[in-house]
Amino acid sequence: MNNNQNSKGITILGSTGTIGVNTLDVIARQSEHYHLIALTANSNVDKMLQQCLQHHPQYVVMVKEQAAEQLSIALKNQAPDIEVLSGSQALETVVELTQVDYVMAAIVGAAGLLPNLAAAKAGKRVLLANKESLVMSGKLFMNTVSENNATLLPIDSEHNAIFQCLPASGLQGVTQILLTASGGPFRTRAIDTLHDITPEQAVAHPNWVMGQKISVDSATMMNKGLEVIEACWLFQLTTEQIQVVIHPQSTIHSMVAYNDGSVLAQLGNPDMRTPIAYGLGWPMRIESGVAPLDLFEIAQLNFEQADYNRFPCLRLAYEAHQAGGYATIALNAANEIAVEAFLNRQLRFTDIPALIEYALEQTTSGTPETLNEILIQDSESRRQANLWWHENK
């Protein structure tokens, strides 16, 4: 604990994940400005124990009860002052605490929705890495942020770049958002061999080190599809205003085009500590530990169109957002089921979009107004996706 009166209290949702670990790294570099209130994880006891001993939060949540019990026993002698909670409800408890100023929303998938909404409802600064929650509940989420005077800052590198390149006064003069994508590991692989792809090949991203789910999403380019939807909600844009640009070097993290011909870009090494530091420090800049960009080493910046034949998930995401909120919930739910089945070697890589397309066909247009409607659509789409998978595996 530090003695700085202005030090910000932080809860990290998903601290054992890639974003969580990078967030802890940035915070440890500025320990006089930030202090940890809570760390949370699903079940990784070893990693959480190590984080607790190194970073000393006041609370820790393990969603899985058995994991919480194991962690309590391990902490008893080494750090008995850390309070261990369990269950998904506890995620909401540790974001709502009055001593929490900032919440890093870095749980993967739909499991992040309720705690992220709780953070927005409690008026916190929400550092949003978990794009799935916005894809599921964009309208409700943005309303919750504004009704409760919360501050929503994008951590996804592309959205963080866009945020850095937009004028402070909204969208004045903006004509287009150029959302960059690396193209993932299969950008140039022969299309007729995509069905043979293994989980190991899919998670081996050329530029970024990330969790398994987002790595598969990057390989199918569903990640970019989810990001198109995320950008629409964050910046109040239509899908027509967003152009996906494949940029294999991942040096430009996105761009904003203006009506006078200017295009502003944010560049940097592909290291999530840059957008994390920007979100933590905003409106100031703080050190992140990221190496300076060496343009001479990079030497070239290339750009390509995205091919919907190679990446049908990208097309499905555009179509889903145009159809409305029910469809984007179905898109996300079916994708989560498909990616998990693929990682378990129970679904072919090329069946991921087929399964999602089926779930979308079962869904009505329009947008849900309430959380209950969102959750019902989510579980209905999961049921349909599972059905398709059992019939086609």
The residues of the shown chain that bind ligand NAD, judged by CB under 6 A, are: 14-20, 41-42, 44, 63, 106-108, 111, 129-132, 156, 208, 210-214, 272
Return the range that interacts with Mg ion (CB under 5 A); candidates 108-116, 157-165, 317-325, 357-365: 157-165
HEC string of 80-103 equals: CCCEEEECCHHHHHHHHCCCCCEE
Residue 254 or 358: the one with the smaller Cβ distance to ligand NAD is: 254
The strands making up 263-267's β-sheet, listed across from edge to edge, are: 242-246, 174-181, 252-258, 263-267
Q: How far is the CB of 238 from ligand NAD (least distance, A)?
A: 23
Q: How far is the CB of 85 from ligand NAD (least distance, A)?
A: 12
Q: How far is the CB of 320 from ligand NAD (least distance, A)?
A: 17
Residue 197 or 276: the one with the smaller Cβ distance to ligand NAD is: 276
Return the range that interacts with Mg ion (CB under 5 A); candidates 150-158, 174-182, 277-285, 335-343: 150-158
Contact, 306 vs 223, CB < 8 A? Answer: no
Binding site partner of 18, from Mg ion, ligand NAD, none, Cβ cut-off 5-8 A by kind:
ligand NAD
Contacts 24+ apart (CB under 8 A), 238-243: 239/318, 239/321, 239/322, 241/174, 241/175, 241/176, 241/177, 242/176, 242/177, 242/179, 243/176, 243/177, 243/178, 243/179
- What residues between 158 and 187 interact with Mg ion by CB under 5 A? 158
Nearest in space to 8 (alpha carbons), one of 92, 98, 97, 102: 102
Q: Which residue is associated with the tokens 């409800």?
A: 89
| 156 makes contact with Mg ion (CB under 5 A) | yes
Binding site partner of 272, from ligand NAD, Mg ion, none, Cβ cut-off 5-8 A by kind:
ligand NAD
Q: How far is the CB of 39 from ligand NAD (least distance, A)?
A: 9
Residue 248 or 358: the one with the smaller Cβ distance to ligand NAD is: 248
Q: Provide the sign of the torsion angle of the four alpha carbons 112, 345, 331, 384, taken in this order.
A: negative
Bond preceding residue 283 cis, omega within 30 of 0: yes
Q: How far is the CB of 158 from Mg ion (least distance, A)?
A: 5
Contact, 374 vs 136, CB < 8 A? Answer: yes
Q: Which residue is nearest to ligand NAD (CB)?
A: 17
Torsional class of 250: left (φ above 0), alpha (ψ -120 to 50), beta (otherwise): left
Q: How far apart are the first and last CA of the chain?
A: 53
Binding site partner of 211, from Mg ion, ligand NAD, none, Cβ cut-off 5-8 A by kind:
ligand NAD
Count the neighbouring beta carbons within 10 Å of the beta carbon of residue 291. Answer: 9
Residue 63 or 272: the one with the smaller Cβ distance to Mg ion is: 272
Q: How far is the CB of 213 from ligand NAD (least distance, A)?
A: 6
Q: How far is the CB of 138 from ligand NAD (least distance, A)?
A: 15
Element housing 315 (H / E): helix 312-323
Binding site partner of 218, from ligand NAD, Mg ion, none, Cβ cut-off 5-8 A by kind:
none
Binding site partner of 93, from ligand NAD, Mg ion, none, Cβ cut-off 5-8 A by kind:
none
Q: Which residues bind Mg ion (CB under 5 A)?
A: 156-158
